[in-house]
Amino acid sequence: MAELAALSRELDERLLHLLEALETLQSKRAAFNSRVEQGWFSLSKSRFAMGCKSVSALQYGARMEPLVRVQAREAGSGQFVFQVIPGESDPVLDTAEESPAVDEIGPPEQVLRRRKGPGYMEEVEHPLEADPTPPHSQHGASAQDPLTWFGILVPQSLRQAQSSFREGILLAGEIATLQSDIEATQTQYQALLQRKRQLVDREGWGCPWSPPPPPPPHCRGGSGEKSWAHCTRRHQLQ
């Protein structure tokens, strides 16, 4: 009987945990959906500012490296914890964010500008000697930023969209963790319930949630010890 009580208590705890997790999942979902909706709105505003075809799949970069990754570690009993972590190139991105290269227009040195006139050759040769690195490697940091796919001067709304989706990605990690928790709890609950049923059937206690009712007269005797579940099923069929 003590085992049954302990099992029932454990079942109640699992159930409460499951309901709490479902409630948290619902609130996280609402937050995620609102971030994503905000992101779409900002994307639409960017399209309005830049032109309809300027923000589409056609602008995706030829090279892509993830700036965020997700670390999945097992927390026991088949449950995983998903943590969104910055990718390897994120420190570079942070530098790029501090001094946004996408806002810079034109070459950094004015002497690079091509001008017609007598001093043309000297002006072109001098910067090439001074700065042999190609512009791509100089701005390798900003090349990682997906904002650059959509142009050098991007509207503020596109930055807002990026920030909304980044928040959404963080929430996605939390939602994935909650989903995994829910599934693990569900499995544990089913296993406990199965164990309790077996215990109840083995001991012949009848209904696990109430004291054993006296068996109906037609169920007494005959086939001997009949479980509560068996009798109930029979009554339902009748």
Partner 1 sequence: MAGRGKLIAVLGDEDTVTGFLLGGVGELNKHRKPNFLVVEKETSLTEIEETFRSFLSRDDIGIVLINQFIAELIRHAIDAHTRSLPAVLEIPSKEHPYDAAKDSILRRAKGMFTAEDLR
In the set 20, 88, 94, 125, which binds partner 1 (CB under 8 A)?
A: 88
When asked if residue 232 is in the footprint of partner 1 (CB under 8 A), the reply is yes
Stretch that binds partner 1, among 98-106, 129-137, 176-184, 213-221 (CB under 8 A): 176-184
When asked if residue 124 is in the footprint of partner 1 (CB under 8 A), the reply is no
Vertex 14, ends 4 and 16: CA angle to 5°? 115
What are the strands, taking DSSP E only, across the chain? 68-74, 80-86
In the set 8, 87, 215, 219, which binds partner 1 (CB under 8 A)?
A: 87
The string over 140-160, giving b where at least 16 C-beta atoms fall within 10 Å of a residue's C-beta and e elsewhere, is ebbbbbbbbebeeebbebbbb
72 strand-pairing partners: 82
In the set 26, 27, 138, 156, which binds partner 1 (CB under 8 A)?
A: 26
| Whole-number Cα distances in Å, 116 to 63, 121, 122, 126, 207 | 36, 9, 12, 16, 97
Residue 129 CB coordination number (10 Å) = 7
When asked if residue 180 is in the footprint of partner 1 (CB under 8 A), the reply is yes
Phi, then psi, of 82 in degrees rounded to 5: -105, 125
In the set 4, 7, 36, 112, which binds partner 1 (CB under 8 A)?
A: 36
Where do contacts with partner 1 occur on this chain (CB under 8 A)? 18, 22, 26, 29, 32-33, 36-37, 39-40, 43, 55-57, 60-72, 78-80, 82, 85, 87-88, 90, 93, 146-147, 158, 161-162, 164-166, 168-169, 172-173, 175-176, 179-180, 182-184, 186, 189-190, 193, 207, 209, 232
